[in-house]
Structure 1
């Protein structure tokens, strides 16, 4: 059985070309007309999905052929296709960058591709770049190109010169500084930290509708119906407390779904709002930006003591990346200022100006193998000896350690729970 839905894959020749703004603009344009729009993000990204979720009004899931695998991605797409009028998938980096790449994902599911090209510093060369992208890999379905950051209408006419009839200029977007999205060291600023985001998304949608060329139609795509059997309810009756706010915002929606499917009761709380740790059997401190909110976290009247008591009772605590930094003895920011952290995990971290680690990760927990991703600007100095070390499937140098101290487990890895739900359940079950 198959389900058919209009779909489009938005890619680019490189990062920074405007994929997220164009994807969000299309999503907002159709959502505000009452259409059901579902958006996906290629690869293990937390920040772009927060923007795209606000634009579409629906959760944004990651599609990653390494972390989740083909069958998992197929199940996500087929379920969304059955519920939506339009599916959008935003690529990662350039179209052919990485293993697996955006091109790999688009080809695997027959998704028609549109490339967003930053035309600010080119004219007729635009067509050469566009046709090169379209012809580099014959297995892809290209629907056209989008010219971004144009200086004038005349500039738009120049970039369209030389494009073949089967690779039309779908939209010509002007350069408008007011539409620029704020960024920081890990990427775009999270949606919940942008009070004016909805106004900006509507402005993006307006710009898209004004720039869209007449006659463009989304192509229907057939998705094979995939039945993904749920995991056994191994966490039935267990309550897991999950930190969730601007300091702990790096949460895959599929991870939350997995915990629900395992039967766990989830209780979210905000350390930044000084909410107490809920009564629970296990705790998950996901990644985020504790370095930006260290003073507010340190001022929490009860959290450190509650977490210490939790671990003293041998209850499981998983701390990922920023969650791990929160539990250290100290954290030094890029300005060189050191702040005392919870002191539940021996060691100190230093946030630096340059990237410290980036890459997909495969790691063997004592309960079984998991997959995930690493992306951080801090370095860690700890006397703890790792119980496992991750590997990078692409042979990159990023190979994160997994630490264990009593019932506390910590790593820079952002684990993707669907990659091994039973291993995750075994840990959280204690």
Structure 2
């Protein structure tokens, strides 16, 4: 099949470091253009669940990951070019600092040929803002900076000090005042969008506050891609139960798409509120915040029993991170409160005061290589034997275990299903 070009306005939102306000600015721009009646599609560079929830709300559409390692260049191009068929504007939120990591946001910008808007927290600087912007613009010749956005600006005088030293070919395309209310967060990142009952009002205030330069015109980009080849129907006629509620919400939309593309019917259920499992052949228990819902999960004895019966009947289950913690004997939160969980895995999970793992991960099983990432604050005590340990492509010493017993596959790793659909199908097929 030949390449098919798509043209669309596109911009990568990046920053010199984490914590500069990339997600808030990306959501604000999406909401601003959406209020004008534009069709917006947003992507997130690298593994992330919480930012995409906010960005999905702001754009009105699911947010997909693009990444040169976990997702891969070809599939990233396919996702973006496919979105361009329906979108007026594509926004891509970067990860960490623009040049941080391998691969970095800058690597993606260079390969895709999409210009970058650099978001800089200007709250504690004046003319140095221009020096930082100049460095970002000139560090790599294969990365194009469309301009900069001054975030957390104190006043009109502050704006003048920030922008007066900028080169003529490096415009300040927008400013955001310091007083603007930001999006709340907790230890794993932003608070989930469903928990913010006033998110529309917050986004309205943000969109009203941002000051766009009249010269700010989104660049039109031609996107070439190879059409997506259909996946084989390896899960045809299977019903897969997917846990989905406030405790289990860390799931890539691309994973759900992958399962349905292989022929599965997805049936969503809530371990928090449902008393029994739906009629399904297999289960997918994604990550989330089970530690924030200890009492409710523990007291829902009928659901715990139903999951145990499913596993004891030798039916398939894939459990990731929080989904795995739910299957342990006990789970202890950061305050020392402990509750009984399903008791399928002979392990006890305990939240720690600090982050315990953050890394890209790759596992190879029977010549199938599956990619993903890990990000958690808990540790397992008395854990079962692993069938394999993952490797990190960046030399990080984090090597997460993959556990299997009966037809249960569990790990701290959040898997990206599209990286090895055949292995995922094998794990979920009765």
TM range (shorter): over 0.9
CA contact (8 A) 1:143 1:166 kept: no
Q: Which residue of 2 aligns with 1:408?
A: 408
Distance 1:57 1:275, change over 3 A: farther
CA contact (8 A) 2:74 2:225 kept: no
- The reply on whether 1:26 has 2:29 as its aligned counterpart is yes
Distance 1:336 1:366, change over 3 A: farther
TM-score (normalised: structure 1): 0.98
Q: Which residue of 2 aligns with 1:204?
A: 206
3-state DSSP class of the match of 2:92?
Answer: strand
- The reply on whether 1:194 has 2:225 as its aligned counterpart is no
Q: Which residue of 1 aligns with 2:186?
A: 184
1:335-414 correspondence to structure 2 within 5 Å: 335-366=335-366, 368-414=368-414
Residues in 2 aligned to 1:9 and 1:134: alpha-carbon distance in whole angstroms: 14
- The reply on whether 1:106 has 2:103 as its aligned counterpart is no
Residues in 1 aligned to 2:296 and 2:183: alpha-carbon distance in whole angstroms: 26
CA offsets 1:393-419 (integer angstroms, 9 cap, x no match): 000011100001111111000000000
CA contact (8 A) 1:367 1:423 kept: no
Tell me the CA shift for residue 32 of structure 1: 1.8
Distance 1:383 1:14, change over 3 A: closer
Tell me the CA shift for residue 382 of structure 1: 2.8
CA offsets 1:113-161 (integer angstroms, 9 cap, x no match): 0100000000000000000011001101111000000111100000002
Residues in 2 aligned to 1:326 and 1:383: alpha-carbon distance in whole angstroms: 14
Q: Which residue of 2 aligns with 1:273?
A: 273
Tell me the CA shift for residue 71 of structure 1: 0.6
Q: Which residue of 1 aligns with 2:42?
A: 39
Residues in 2 aligned to 1:275 and 1:95: alpha-carbon distance in whole angstroms: 46
CA contact (8 A) 2:244 2:269 kept: yes
CA contact (8 A) 2:409 2:427 kept: no
Residue ranges of structure 2 left out of the alignment (5+ in a row): none
Residues in 2 aligned to 1:400 and 1:296: alpha-carbon distance in whole angstroms: 28
Tell me the CA shift for residue 225 of structure 1: 3.1
Residues in 1 aligned to 2:225 and 2:364: alpha-carbon distance in whole angstroms: 31
2:134 to 111, 131, 136: 131
Q: Which residue of 1 aligns with 2:299?
A: 299
3-state DSSP class of the match of 1:68?
Answer: helix
Tell me the CA shift for residue 276 of structure 1: 2.3
Residues in 1 aligned to 2:97 and 2:367: alpha-carbon distance in whole angstroms: 36
2:18 to 15, 35, 38: 15
Q: Which residue of 1 aligns with 2:124?
A: 121
CA contact (8 A) 2:173 2:215 kept: no
Tell me the CA shift for residue 366 of structure 1: 4.5
Distance 1:142 1:321, change over 3 A: same
CA contact (8 A) 2:328 2:344 kept: yes
Residues in 2 aligned to 1:11 and 1:383: alpha-carbon distance in whole angstroms: 39
Two-structure CA RMSD over aligned residues (Å): 1.0
Q: Which residue of 2 aligns with 1:174?
A: 177
Residues in 1 aligned to 2:10 and 2:117: alpha-carbon distance in whole angstroms: 11
CA contact (8 A) 1:274 1:301 kept: no
